[in-house]
């Protein structure tokens, strides 16, 4: 009986010690040591999505994070690379994020084609001083404090992404190295728009930079692959503005796209490929988007239809429209469903003048 109890005690002790040894081996000793030193990076990494999913420092920096011996932990034989070089640091991210099996291992269902999209984008072009791509994973997602995209603390969360893009795109000093002709007032214009005002109030559903330009796949505006290329803009705007559930929150109709594609403007642009024909942003603006009001609608139409605007302003209708506060061009021609002027359509104008 004593022998049995003694054997049971030894076995139990062995199992407890074994579990403790395994636990010690599983501890990220790199993180533990840097935390003990009050390292700022370790403090940030504590809430990083990778740390929360059990990925050690060695996951990006290489080495052996299970050892508290610095020589072993940072041994090149163990794959230690230290701080990844600026020119190729994106490869560390790609190592997992382009591998479907690795992503499934951590229960992540996010796409694994981000790098393929990024490679084809304008941001993956080399920097002017050949320090790697203009923007890579770290540029936007950060380093040790990466959060889920849907986390309000994430740098790429809808209400924060405008400030992120503005770090580069609002700097004339920075942008002149790549495209000196590109305006650097997009963010300030956006803040004056309907979308920008809602975004500033914390509405994550209001359109922001990525909503229109995309994220990993961004192309130059004049590239036909760009989401904001002239012929692509109507469908991009339609993603939100044809969504009845989403638009019900803002009391906005959802038939604009359906009407536009049947209009003279939509047919010219989408069917005939006439890039001079107006799309959504030509009338509503892009970064400074606002619904044209009574005072502005004729000026909006007049940017293309200059002669018509001049004739109207000299006509007796101008005074009558001003007195009754009618929205000028739109009163007779409509807005999204503009049709060619015919005798039949003229007969309908009497609805404004009973």
Cα separation, 6 vs 345, in Å, equals 102
Q: So what's the pLDDT on residue 283? A: 93
Q: So what's the pLDDT on residue 214? A: 97
Ranked by mean pLDDT, which of 6-10, 252-256, 342-346 comes out on top?
A: 252-256
Q: So what's the pLDDT on residue 249? A: 94
Among 349, 345, 342, 307, smallest CA distance to 328 is for 349
Instruction: Give the pLDDT band (50/70/90) at residue 138.
Output: very high
Instruction: Give the pLDDT band (50/70/90) at residue 7.
Output: low
Point out which residues pair with 133 in neighbouring strands. 126
Dihedral angle of Cα 138, 160, 257, 222, to the nearest 10 degrees: -40
Paired tokens of 303: 């940017």
pTM, two decimals, is 0.84
Residue boundaries of the structural domains of the chain: 147-218, 219-273, 292-354
Among 174, 151, 171, smallest CA distance to 161 is for 151
Q: So what's the pLDDT on residue 25? A: 42
Q: So what's the pLDDT on residue 292? A: 84
Other C-beta atoms closer than 10 Å to the C-beta of 145 total 18
Please report where in the chains the tokens 């942008």 appear, as a residue: 175
Q: So what's the pLDDT on residue 222? A: 94
Q: So what's the pLDDT on residue 18? A: 44
Contacts of 247 (CB under 8 A, 6+ apart): 240, 241, 253, 254
∠ CA(116), CA(133), CA(143), 5° rounding?
Answer: 85
């Amino acid at each position: 009986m004593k022998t049995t109890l003694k054997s049971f005690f030894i076995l139990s002790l062995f199992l407890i010690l074994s579990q403790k040894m395994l636990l010690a081996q599983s501890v990220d000793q790199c993180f533990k040591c840097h935390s003990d030193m009050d390292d700022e990076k370790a403090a940030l990494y504590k809430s990083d999505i990778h740390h929360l999913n059990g990925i050690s420092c060695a996951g990006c920096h290489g080495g052996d994070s299970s050892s508290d011996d610095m020589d072993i932990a940072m041994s090149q034989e163990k794959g230690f690379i230290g701080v990844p070089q600026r020119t190729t640091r994106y490869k560390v991210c790609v190592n997992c994020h382009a591998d479907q099996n690795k992503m499934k291992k951590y229960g992540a269902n996010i796409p694994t084609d981000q790098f393929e999209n990024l490679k084809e984008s304008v941001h993956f072009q080399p920097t002017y001083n050949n320090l790697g791509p203009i923007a890579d994973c770290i540029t936007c997602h950060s380093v040790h404090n990466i959060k889920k995209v849907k986390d309000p603390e994430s740098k790429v969360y809808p209400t924060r992404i405008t400030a992120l893009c503005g770090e580069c795109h609002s700097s004339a000093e920075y942008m002149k190295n790549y495209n000196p002709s590109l305006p650097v007032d997009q963010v300030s214009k956006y803040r004056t728009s309907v979308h920008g005002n809602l975004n500033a109030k914390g509405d994550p559903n209001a359109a922001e930079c990525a909503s229109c330009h995309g994220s990993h796949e961004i192309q130059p505006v004049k590239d036909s692959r760009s989401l904001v290329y002239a012929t692509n803009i109507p469908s991009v705007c339609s993603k939100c503005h044809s969504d009845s559930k989403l638009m019900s929150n803002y009391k906005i109709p959802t038939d604009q796209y359906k009407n536009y594609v049947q209009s003279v403007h939509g047919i010219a642009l989408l069917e005939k490929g006439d890039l001079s024909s107006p799309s959504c942003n030509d009338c509503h603006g892009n970064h400074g988007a606002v619904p044209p009001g009574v005072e502005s609608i004729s000026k909006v139409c007049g940017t293309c239809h200059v002669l018509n605007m001049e004739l109207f302003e000299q006509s007796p209708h101008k005074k009558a429209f001003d007195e009754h506060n009618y929205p000028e061009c739109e009163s007779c021609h409509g807005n999204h469903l503009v049709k060619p002027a015919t005798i039949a359509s003229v007969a309908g104008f009497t609805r404004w003048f009973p």
